[in-house]
Amino acid sequence: MENNNNNNNNNNNNNNQDDNGIKRKRILLTTDLHLGYDHLKELSNVVYKNAQRFDMVICTGDIANFDPEEAGDVEKVAACEGEMSHALSYLENIDKHLYYLPGNHDAKTTLSKDDKPRLTTYSTNLHRECIRLEDDLVVMGLGGSVPGYREGEQKWVGYPYTNEDDLNRDLQETYETAKNTVVSGGDNKTLIRDGDSIILLTHVGPHHSSTTVDQFDITVAPLYSGSKSISQFIIDHNEDIFLNIHGHTHAAVGMTTTGNTTIINPGPLKFKCYGILEIEKHFSQKWKVTSMQFKRL
């Protein structure tokens, strides 16, 4: 497959400002597809039958079912890329502004910094990337997971991050690079500017959030699957990050807040969950979440 030249100027170009100076975006949220092709077909049909329109589609990872222990098997990695392409093509047909992350069950190649494979014509892999959507709105992404723990014992393997330090290094580097990269000629404007509203897309969510605590079985202690580094990053940039969308924890669907940040886990499409999110910006105010619907097929 050809390389995906993730274009940091690949902005959405949907200017939804109305006559009252209000900008809106309507976003379809999906995560944890796990190759649920039937559910992808059903989602496409629901969107089509109801004549739904979206400004973009977001998918926060675990598109496939790859076993990280087989990451060295080139043929299996290539096969997984093909499966991911197939799954993403359903979402891309809903809206070509498709932004996705690889999770811990996706092809190793899609979790690289450079030379990511281009899986579909229009989709953008946002792992360790940041792009501008509007004059004052950027989206920054980090895929993969850290380990999950129950009563201090590791229960879920993290991939590609086996510890918080490695995830934190990539998270900080992605942010710092965007803060220091000049993207437009002549005016010295950087990719992330002071005053921007930031959407943080991650596969694994923040440690402190109810959306990452798996207590599917209430007879056993909860499993904590979130990242402490992502928690701290949200706290450190709380004025700017107004929204964190993540997946990974199938049994912790929901929404919560940390200061100015709304944290959303729309739930796994594998189990027929998806979300419809609306964000708005009024005049010179910053962007904010105005509605979130948790839907089931």
Binding of Fe ion by 104 (CB under 5 A): yes
The b/e string for 200-237 (b: 16+ C-beta within 10 A; e otherwise) is bbbbbbbbbbebbbbeeeeeeebbbbbbebbbbbbeeb
Judged by DSSP in three states, 264 sits in strand
Size of the site for Fe ion (CB under 5 A): 4
Binding of Fe ion by 143 (CB under 5 A): no
| Piece in contact with Fe ion (CB under 5 A), picked from 93-101, 165-173, 241-249, 262-270 | 241-249
Query: Closest-CB residue for Fe ion?
Result: 248
Task: For Fe ion, give the closer residue by CB, 62 or 214.
Answer: 62
Task: For Fe ion, give the closer residue by CB, 103 or 226.
Answer: 103
Binding of Fe ion by 103 (CB under 5 A): yes
Q: How far is the CB of 152 from Fe ion (least distance, A)?
A: 21
What's the 3-state SS for 117-183?
ECCCCCCEECECEEEEEECCEEEEEECCECCEEECCEEEECCCECCCHHHHHHHHHHHHHHHHHCEE
How many whole angstroms separate alpha carbon 286 and alpha carbon 73?
46
Q: How far is the CB of 189 from Fe ion (least distance, A)?
A: 35
Task: For Fe ion, give the closer residue by CB, 32 or 240.
Answer: 32
Binding of Fe ion by 281 (CB under 5 A): no
Q: How far is the CB of 104 from Fe ion (least distance, A)?
A: 4
Q: Which of residues 43-72 bind Fe ion (CB under 5 A)?
A: 62
Examine residue 268 and say whether the peptide bond preceding it is cis (omega within 30 degrees of 0): no
Catalog residues that contact Fe ion under the rule CB under 5 A.
Answer: 62, 103-104, 248
